Amino acid sequence: MKTITDIQQEFGKKIAKKALSMEAIKLSPKEPFRWASGARMPIYNDNRRLLADSEARRLIAQGFKELFEAVEPSFSVIAGTSTAGIPHATTLSDILQLPLIYVRSSGKEHGLKNQIEGIGPALSIEGKRVLLIEDLISTGGSSIAAVNALRDQGAIVPYCFSIFTYQLEASKEAFETLNPPCISISLLDYESMLATAEETGYLNETDMKLLFEWRKDPFGWGLKNNFV
């Protein structure tokens, strides 16, 4: 059986090439983007662009399936985060023939005021192992909120799978606060993405240096490099 590392090495590079070519991951260290926080960052991720390509969707679904088979616990339900995690959770649940639910960032203000959609008389998640599917891990805050929402309904959530992670220290620390633990596993991480970008000639040496520096202090990187 393949290990988690085997799967990441096999699928990460392929997904990185797709993401860079489709601009689902954009790298611009000399003209950085402004994130919602206001900070200037040399990378921007929009995994929704991957939905336009059937091969990209297939790669992600197959990678998640193999991760599913590689981890120890069996799962009864697949959950997607709203909205970007829903398409990939849907494809995976179809492949595995498992029930699907999704988690909103907060409860609705009308109707049943649900935060989790799909549970009800036909499906309870109390006491069941639920696999959470996320598209991107940045600081980890939205993923942690989804895990806690599921656990509030009695679900057991030992893993969160994602397409891409920035590998920020903040996300590591966020997941470490969860008790019981929820292990975050991404098909593609920042370092592997940079290695692919360098290998394919997407970046020059100066750009690579700036992008590696960003990882050390992501929220101070812009000011340090005189981007305001």
Q: Domain boundaries in the chain?
A: 4-224
Angle, CA of 95, 7 and 20, to the nearest 5°:
90
Question: Measured between alpha carbons, how far is 149 from 154 in angstroms, rounded to an integer?
Answer: 9
| Contact yes or no for 187/15 (Cβ under 8 A) | yes
Positions in the chain short of pLDDT 50: 111-112
pLDDT digits (tens, 9 = 90+) for 121-157: 999 999 999 999 999 999 999 999 999 999 999 999 9
Question: Measured between alpha carbons, how far is 139 from 98 in angstroms, rounded to an integer?
Answer: 29
pLDDT number for residue 122: 92
pLDDT number for residue 36: 86
Q: What is the DSSP letter of 94?
A: H
Question: Measured between alpha carbons, how far is 77 from 79 in angstroms, rounded to an integer?
Answer: 7
pLDDT digits (tens, 9 = 90+) for 163-180: 999 999 999 999 999 999
pLDDT number for residue 8: 98
In the sheet that holds 100-103, the strands lie side by side as: 116-117, 100-103, 77-81, 130-137, 159-165, 183-189
Question: Measured between alpha carbons, how far is 144 from 141 in angstroms, rounded to an integer?
Answer: 5
Q: Is the bond preceding residue 91 a cis peptide, omega within 30 degrees?
A: no
Q: Which class is 4-224 in CATH?
A: alpha beta
